[in-house]
Structure 1
């Protein structure tokens, strides 16, 4: 293997011994061991040389009389021999200091340097027209002209939709109450309390080191309690003692850009229990109901003014049926001197993989149930999507 500029390599086909003679003096002879490759380099020079401006070389005994015409390179002489070829005399091609030189060697004069190229005065123009194959053109036509059709649900998405339709209710206040869409056996969940306790104790030490984080966390938990988002977990009875449950580790994310609550509590529904199964492992994702991002961006180009809005505490506006709340338990206490308390989320919480589906599917259900009373809201959600509403107005 021979390596060259930039790490390029050439495979060696064989080796050969070469005896090199001068065409002017046969007594000048060099022995070389050479490697054989399929190609030394491209034809050199790359373009024809304009010899009319190199008249000083006309009477010199050149090692290569055809130096001005591109030709194949048959042999590359190594640095071990080249110094022994050079003699003392050199001839300048032109008065210009940058013109090529003719260096005298034992093989004859060799031309070295930047030589004037012979430019072809004839210009050629080529025209190429490429067309798509017929099958590609037909395929593109059907893609462009295809009528939008509702996407077919996967078996998992259909099962999740069926669970939603068969279990979702509304309470006395009109709030939607949903069920966790289980796809696996809830009894496959192992013990999650121990890991959740260790994670909370770590969080508690972090809060003790940061009074601002502690205050923000306490305020959010207090708000959740006051608004009924969470409540103390009921004491297990004889009937519920052997039922599976899941205690979810949680942490806080500080959002300095928020004007109101700067802390969001995120639940880790993917934390493995002692059986190496997490709550998210046995939940359906549900269909992706987020709005088409391209349509949302295009709406900004319709008019001069655009308004963007979202729903505050969107997930927490949706209730979870009581029998599923035991799978949404968290640990918390307001002081290290207090015993750890177990709370249950009464609402859809942030951190379960089914929560985005519940939030967007419930808005869709709200439009189906109440859209006739709010036609403009119905039109906006159906047009833009319900994940992020953008309204555009003409000024």
Structure 2
């Protein structure tokens, strides 16, 4: 363990033992007794032994796990078959409009006929939500404003009739309140993990693509390269992508 001099002396306690002339001192600290002595370049050519003790009988495995935890692997990660298929789906289906908006298709991995009935569950959860909103006028107002904004931005549109003979999915939704937030105090969560009567949800039909953001350790190390760091948030980031009409 490397400890900077600015805190080292605060760790020292009363107690120092000299073992002999050429042996280290034992010094009492907040971490227990530590051994130390002066360093001489004459000793660099000699061999030293480091004693490691642990209750487990498998020291090699313990050390190996320690180094694996501390290892930072460099290079592109190996993609699974599903991750590769998801990337190929993106490459084949993504389009960019004249105004620069990106349009995508949903990455289905199974036939949507597996989706069962979902209207009854979504309706029950909506009625429960509506009952909560009626008791809290301020929450009702924020929820209504959010939904109206979705309509005005084109993220949501009214459907007059539903063909129940074709694959469909009614998505329940609820809200999460964050009073401490400076921007979005109410966030509406759309639950695509809600199961239908066939035990499949909409999320179950999607491929899962690879992680495309950089590793957390890379981000942390980048913070040490410069004196100042900036963070930012993209407003309605996922809503900036257009959905193909066939998947709406």
Q: What TM-score do you get using the length of structure 2 for normalisation?
A: 0.70
Aligned to 2:130: 204
Instruction: Tell me, yes or no, if structure 1 residue 309 matches structure 2 residue 229.
Output: no
Judging changes above 3 Å, is the alpha-carbon distance between structure 1 residues 168 and 159 closer, same or farther for their aligned structure 2 residues?
Answer: same
- In structure 2, the residue corresponding to 1:308 is in which secondary structure? coil
In the alignment, which residue of structure 1 is the partner of 2:34? none
Inter-CA distance 280–144: structure 2 relative to 1 (3 Å threshold) = closer
**Offset at 1:234?**
5.5
**Counterparts in 2 of 1:220 and 1:144: CA distance versus 1, 3 Å:** closer
CA gap 1:275/1:144 in 2 versus in 1, 3 angstroms: closer
User: Equivalent residues in 2 for 1:240-389 (5 A)?
Assistant: 242-325=165-248
Runs of 4+ in 1 over 3 A off after TM superposition: 122-128, 130-133, 143-146
Aligned to 1:216, the other structure's residue is in SS state helix
Give the counterpart of 1:230 among 139, 149, 156: 156
Aligned-partner Cα distance in 1 for 2:128–2:72: 58
CA distance in 1, matches of 2:49, 2:154: 70
Deviation at 1:181, TM superposition (A): 0.6
Give the TM-score normalised by structure 1.
0.45
Listed one character per residue, the Cα deviations across residues 304-339 of structure 1 (whole Å, up to 9, x for unaligned) are 3221112111011011111111xxxxxxxxxxxxxx
Call closer, same or farther: CA 1:247–1:289 in 2, change over 3 Å.
same
Question: 2:107 is matched with which residue: 168, 181, 188?
Answer: 181
Structure 2 gaps of 5+ residues are 1-18, 25-46, 52-58
Q: Deviations over 1:55-113 (max 9, x none)?
A: xxxxxxxxxxxxxxxxxxxxxxxxxxxxxxxxxxxxxxxxxxxxxxxxxxxxxxxxxxx
CA RMSD of aligned residues (A): 3.0
Secondary structure at 2:157's aligned position in 1? strand
Give the number of equivalent residue pairs.
Answer: 194
For the pair 1:151 / 2:77, whether they are aligned, the reply is yes
Q: What is the rounded CA distance, in whole Å, between the counterparts of 1:209 and 1:144 in structure 2? A: 53
CA displacement, residues 159-191 of structure 1 (integer Å, 9 cap, x when unaligned): 111111111112332211111111122100001
Find 1:166's aligned residue among 85, 92, 98: 92
Q: How does 1:41-120 map to 2 (within 5 A)?
A: none
Secondary structure at 2:214's aligned position in 1? coil
- Which of 1 and 2 has greater Rg? 1
Of structures 1 and 2, the one scoring higher in RCO (CA 8 A, sep 6+) is 2
Counterpart CA distance in 2 for 1:271 and 1:175 is: 30
Q: Which has the higher helix share?
A: 2
* Between structures 1 and 2, the one with greater strand share: 1
Q: Quick one: structure 1 residues 235 and 316, their matched pair in 2 at CA, closer, same or farther if it must change by over 3 Å? A: same
Gaps of 5+ in 1: 1-121, 326-395
Q: Secondary structure at the match of 2:109?
A: coil
